[in-house]
Each structure stands twice: as structure tokens, then as C-alpha cells.
Amino acid sequence: MKRATHKGIVALQSRETSLVLDTSTPSPTVMHWGAFLGSDDLVALRAALELPVPHGGLDVVAPLSLTPEQGSGYLDSPGVEGHRPDGGGWAPRFVSSEVISTEQGARCISVDEHEQLELRSEFQMQESGVLRIRSALRNLGDIPYTVQALRITLPLPGRAVDTLTFAGRWTNEFQPHRQRLATGSLAVENRSGRTSHDRMPIAFVGTDAFSESCGEVWAVHFEWSGNSVISISSATDGRRSIQISELLFSGEIELAPGASYETPWVACAYSEAGTNGVSQAFHRELRADPSHPTAPRPVTLNIWEAVYFDHDLVRLKQLADRAAEIGVERYVVDDGWFHRRRNDRAGLGDWWVDATVWPDGLWPIVNHVTSLGMQFGLWFEPEMVNPDSDLYRHHPEWVLADPRYEPVLGRHQLVLDLANDDVRAYLFEKVDALLTEYPISYVKWDMNRALVHPSHLGRASVHAQTVALYSLLDAIRAAHPRVEIESCASGGGRIDFGILRRTERVWTSDCNDPLDRQRIQRGFSHVFPPEYMGAHIGPPKSHTTRRAHSLAFRAATAFFGHLGIEWNILDATPEEVGSLAAVIELHKRFRSLLHAGDGFRLDHPNAAVLAHAVVAQDRSEALVSMAMIDTPASLIVEPMRMRGLSDDLMYFVERLPLVAPFHGGARRQPHWLELGLQASGRMLRTVGIQPPTIDPESVLLLHLTAVSQNHASRG
Ligand code: GLA
């Protein structure tokens, strides 16, 4: 990160991006967030961007600052919304008071002396190219101040007209939505109390028809696992902006005298090279986080869809034997092992081993699994309680609800009030005891319902619940630093940087159907790197869609993520078992490339094709996946053009036979499919390579290796 300052101007720069702030305005104003500018133009920038004061408006043009002010004449959503009990303080106006350089960026402090409020804004330009921003509001007065919203506002240029956001649902997360923003605003609003399956706190805005590899893109992601709202607006005076804030319920945050409310971080990325550029910056950011896993991602077997609640030791041991035989490295006992958990109606909260099903504790299975050389993992859902549990019978008051009303159940369960210190202490003690007693290497931390009427001592409590969850996770991680944690919330209901800075994996979706997974995982990859992406090879017929797919398609789809199996492989044929072993072996060979390379989603003109690639950092090697997700509208599918290779290198391109043989359904396929092909990175980028005919719902995998310099290109 480079920093330059000049009389009321602060510039933070990474290799490709600049942020230039005018710190003389009431709260800092982003003059430029986008392409790299260098430091020569800072003064010119202010002069070049000075706004006219047109007829027909106010006599001032209010700055579109990080925290725009109603009282200064900004007529769209203000940065601060809140009030004192007497109604005062509803439109604060700040005066910039201090700019402090920090190790990674800058902190700006502004004060409203009349309303007795202090505003702090913090900017960090990361090595990854990601810009992180957060704000805090402090009550300097001697009566409470209620915060309704603290919005982080960033300007967007008028040419940023296309938006990409992610909606979805359980078992179909991360569905992309492209919309054009003309006037008014587009809001992504999540009130479910967790990151959600359907309102991801992610927004990409770009120039006309931006694609995976072309166009300018500005992207934001809110690092938060609670409620949020992201709003992209074209203001009444024509200026465009994007606002990111926590969605606070009425009265949720009341600041006592001296107290502060701090927003979660907003991670921002910009690229001139389409969505791939911003995705790579987000991926670099998580990869640089201290929590990023360093060990190769262990191939996992999760027993959930193999046995559900039917915990039979003999069968579980047989499953472990077969798993070890085919190269699995981590074996996870899912839901059903704890006190009276024979189905999903009882037991949550009673975190001790069920004595009827496991009379000798978990030792027989733990010992068996570890003696086979595999890690042992265990499922928990600590935030929840079933009314039918000892915990609820002893502590009905520990529920996150208003006791005067009948609470709404979700999957027969209620949510515990984590802001209650006793609840956190109980959960820590229970999880800690099991992690101490058994050699557990991995926790699958589930969370299977939305928060309804989340009330802590009568006050709305999603913010406090989320902060308390983070502190509970932090305490468990501090006590058990070698245990990895997976974030699961009925699949992909809690995937965001807030949780990912504390976990090593996510359960991307409860859907193991590879056809749906192709789209879900592509959506996921826009912000999150593949090594976090739990991706399991399911049974021949998906349990959530009841669609059947070949092992080749299932395996090639899971291959790029944190690979696992979720299938009763005791039912698999000897041929399938052999293929699984081969897939796992290949995955182990390639996982350092898959999980450290640069990911590229490839643009392809045919809507039936979904292609992506991983390219080694040094450009020496790449793996490409070309999935046919539908019957293509034409007999011939256009050449596939690569991204990320070096123009100056020659590559040998060959099919990676994950599960042989390859079924294509053509009278004759291009010869390169059998013989391989040598071509320059330049040619593969500009012209591409003609795909063979591929059956719908199948994948072609290619392996590219650099063989020599491309002499032609150097001349
Ligand atoms: C959730 C998870 C599943 C499984 C079940 C167990 O649905 O997403 O993977 O762990 O809970 O009840």
C-alpha cells in the first residue's frame, strides 16, 4: 500500500486501484475510487471534479461524502440516522477534525459539537487490492443516542450502469441477477438474522454489459453475518452511489453516554478487467488473512446423506474403512450423535454423547477413524435449542425471544440468546469439553434457521447476537487453535468474510446435484476462493433434486473445491469405488494448483456452456473445466477462449481423464482430444480452441502445461 497526502487530500494506492479522499469536507469524501492514479494528480483531481451549482437546486451542492448529511443539503439517504429520546440529533452535521495515518491507511475523525456526536471513518488499502472501510459513531453527550443507520457511502461514476447481485434459496444459493440501473435505487436487504441464502451482502456494479473479463467493475462485500442492506442509487441530482450498512431493527442500538457503534468492515474491489479482476482481489484478501488454512485441504467424507440419524457403529466403521481405502483424509460424524437426537425434533442444546446409541462414548468410532490415519470431525449446532431438550427444560429463559409471545419454530428449534453471558459460557464449556476429551480436528458448525423476533431483554438483538457468535467462535478457536471449523447454515446460509475470517471451510449448499452445483459454485466464486468451498460427490441420484448424474459429472464438479464425498459408498459398485479412488488421487495431485492459483470464469457465447479455469501464479500450468449445463441451441459450439495464460508461453493442452471414458456423442471429435495440442497462450486467449461435442450435463476437463517460450510472440 502506498499513501500520499496533500493539503486535505489523502490517496491510498494498491497496484491497480486508487482511493483519493478529500478530508476537508464534514466527513471524508471519496473523490476517486477506481483505476490507479499515481500521486501527481491529487491537486488536479480536486480542481477537475469541482461541481457547478446549477439553477433549480440549492445554493450549495452537498458533498457526496462517506457519510452524507441531510442537514448539509444531501437529499437522498443520509449517512447517519438516529435520535435522542427528545427527538434531537436526527440530522447531525459534522466538522472534520483530525486525519490520522495508520499502518495500512487512514482514519478520519469528525465531530458535531452541537449534537455531541463523533464520527470515525477508517480506510485500509490491503496488499490484495481490496479496500476496507468502516465507520463508528460515538455518543459524546450525557443522554442516550439511538442509532437507526450508519451507512457507508461510495460514489459510482455515471457509466456504472449494470448491476450484478446474488439471490437464491436453500439448495440453490448464489444465483446471479443482472439488472440495469436507470433511476431510483436497487436494494439488497437481508432481515433473516444470518447472512442468508437469498440476499447475499454482495454487489457488483459495472460499465455497460461488463462481463467476466471485460469492463470496469466496482464491487462491495459486507463482512457481516447478520442483517444488512446494500443500496445502489441514482440520486435526485443524478449522482450515483452505493451505500452499505447493517440493517438495524428499531431501537436495536442505543448508545449510552460515551458508547460507540462501529459498522462491520466493507470490503471493496475495483477492476478494469471484468468481474474476474475483482474476484481475484477478494480471493487474495482471504488468502492473506491469518485464519487462511495452510495445510492442503483434506479430502473429506461426511456421513450425513449416507446414514442420516441412523448411527450404527458397524456400518460407520465399514464406511470409514472404505473411505480410508480410497484416500479420504477426514471423516465427519454429522448430526445425530448427542443426547436423545434420534431425529430433528429433539436434543439440540444437550451437547453430550448419547449413551444409548454410543454406550462407550464416541471412542469406538474416533479410535477406528484415527487408527486408519484419518482426521475425525464432528457436527454441532451450538446456537440452537429444541424445546424437547434438557437444556430448554432447565433454561427456557435462555431463548432469543420475547417471553410474552409464542415463539416461531424453525426445524422444530429455537435460537439461544448468545448475548446472555451464561449462554455463551454454557456453550463454550460443552464444546470445549468434547474438543478436549476427543482428538477432534474439525467442527462442522451448523445454524439451521432464521431469527424471528430476536429479543434480548426486550430489545432487538441481531447485532448483539452476531457479535456474541463471533466472540464465542474466537474463544473456541483460541482454546483449540488446531481445530478447523466449517460454517454451515442449512448449506450456504452463512457465507461472508465476517465468518470466514474465523473458519476454514463453508458448506456451500445442501445441494449435491452437480447441475445445480455448477451454477451455485460459479456464483460463490465471485467473492470466495475455492479452497473454502465444501464440494461433495453425492450419490448417483441427488437427495435434494432426485435427478441422476454420472459419476464423471459429479466428480468434475466437486473437483475444484474442498473435495468431499457424501454418499453411502458401501452401496457403490467396485467400478465406482475404483473411480473415486482415482479422482481423489488426481485431486491430491492438483490441489495445490486448484487452491492457490488465480480463478477465471470464462466468458462463452453459448448459454449452455459454463467454463472456468485455474491458472498457476507463475502461469506454468492451468486446469480448465467446461461444463455443458443444457442442450446447446446449435450443433457446433464456438471455440473456448482462455484467460490468464502467458501470451509468451507455449502450452500443451490435453484432456484430463478424471473418470474414463469420455462420452461425447459425435461421429468424429477434433483430433486434439486424443492427441493433445500445442499452442501459444496468445492463441488460446485470442482464438481459443474448438470444443468437442459434449453431452448435456457433463464436463470436459483440460490440463495445460507450459512447455516452452512462444518465440513468435517475442519477435
Ligand atoms: C443441515 C446441514 C446438513 C446437515 C444437517 C444435519 O441441513 O446443512 O449438511 O448437517 O443440517 O441436521
CB-CB contact of 456 with 400 (8 Å): yes
User: What is the rounded average pLDDT of the residues 249-257?
Assistant: 98
pLDDT at 178: 97
Ligand 1 within 6 A of CB of 381:
no
pLDDT at 712: 64
Average pLDDT for the chain: 96
User: CA–CA separation, 408 vs 453, rounded Å?
Assistant: 8
Helix (H) or strand (E) holding 1: none
User: CA–CA separation, 255 vs 604, rounded Å?
Assistant: 52
Ligand 1 within 6 A of CB of 621:
no
The angle at the Cα of 21, spanning 55 to 7, to the nearest 5 degrees, equals 95
Q: 450 pLDDT exceeds 70? A: yes
Ligand 1 within 6 A of CB of 216:
no
Which residue has a Cα nearest atom 7 of ligand 1?
Answer: 490
Q: pLDDT category, 713, cuts 50, 70, 90?
A: low
Ligand 1 within 6 A of CB of 33:
no
Query: Which set of grid coordinates corresponds to residue 598?
Result: 488465480
Query: Which set of grid coordinates corresponds to residue 345?
Result: 425434533
Which residue has a Cα nearest atom 1 of ligand 1?
Answer: 490
Q: 335 pLDDT exceeds 50? A: yes
Ligand 1: residue of 171, 344, 510, 542 to mutate (most ligand atoms within 8 A of CB) is 510
User: CA–CA separation, 172 vs 194, rounded Å?
Assistant: 17
Ligand 1 within 6 A of CB of 383:
no
Query: Which set of grid coordinates corresponds to residue 693?
Result: 461435442
User: CA–CA separation, 439 vs 443, rounded Å?
Assistant: 11
Percent of the chain with pLDDT over 90: 94
Query: Which set of grid coordinates corresponds to residue 694?
Result: 459434449
Ligand 1 within 6 A of CB of 270:
no
Q: How far does residue 695's CA lie from ligand 1's centre (Å)? A: 32
Ligand 1 atom closest to the CA of 444, numbered from 1: 10
Phi, psi of 705 (to 5 degrees): -125, 135
Q: How far does residue 377's CA lie from ligand 1's centre (Å)? A: 14
pLDDT at 715: 43
Give 396-432 pLDDT, tens digit per residue: 999 999 999 999 999 999 999 999 999 999 999 999 9
Give 350-402 pLDDT, tens digit per residue: 999 999 999 999 999 999 999 999 999 999 999 999 999 999 999 999 999 99
Q: Is the dihedral of CA 300, 449, 199, 29 positive or negative?
A: negative
Give 280-299 pLDDT, tens digit per residue: 999 999 999 999 999 999 99
Exposure on the CB side of residue 107, measured as CA atoms within 13 A: 10
Percent of the chain with pLDDT over 70: 99
User: What is the rounded average pLDDT of the residues 12-24?
Assistant: 94
Which residue has a Cα nearest atom 8 of ligand 1?
Answer: 490
Ligand 1 within 6 A of CB of 491:
yes
User: CA–CA separation, 599 vs 593, rounded Å?
Assistant: 10
Q: Which of 320, 367, 337, 338 is CA-nearest to residue 568?
A: 320
- Work out the number of other CB atoms within 10 angstroms of the CB of residue 73: 15
Helix axes 574-594, 551-558, angle to 10 degrees: 20
Give 51-63 pLDDT, tens digit per residue: 999 999 999 999 9
- Work out the number of other CB atoms within 10 angstroms of the CB of residue 281: 25
CB-CB contact of 349 with 412 (8 Å): no
Which residues are part of the catalytic machinery?
446, 510
Residue keyed to cell 464432528: 378
User: What is the rounded average pLDDT of the residues 539-560?
Assistant: 98
Q: At 704, which amino acid appears?
A: L
Q: Dmax of the chain from CA atoms? A: 82
DSSP characters for 113-166? TTTTEEEEEEEEE-TTS-EEEEEEEEE-SSS-EEEEEE-EEEEE-TT--EEEEE
User: What is the rounded average pLDDT of the residues 504-514?
Assistant: 98
Q: Please, which residues have CB within 8 angstroms of residue 396's CB and are 6 or more apart in sequence? A: none
User: CA–CA separation, 20 vs 42, rounded Å?
Assistant: 8
CB-CB contact of 95 with 26 (8 Å): yes
Residue keyed to cell 466449517: 486
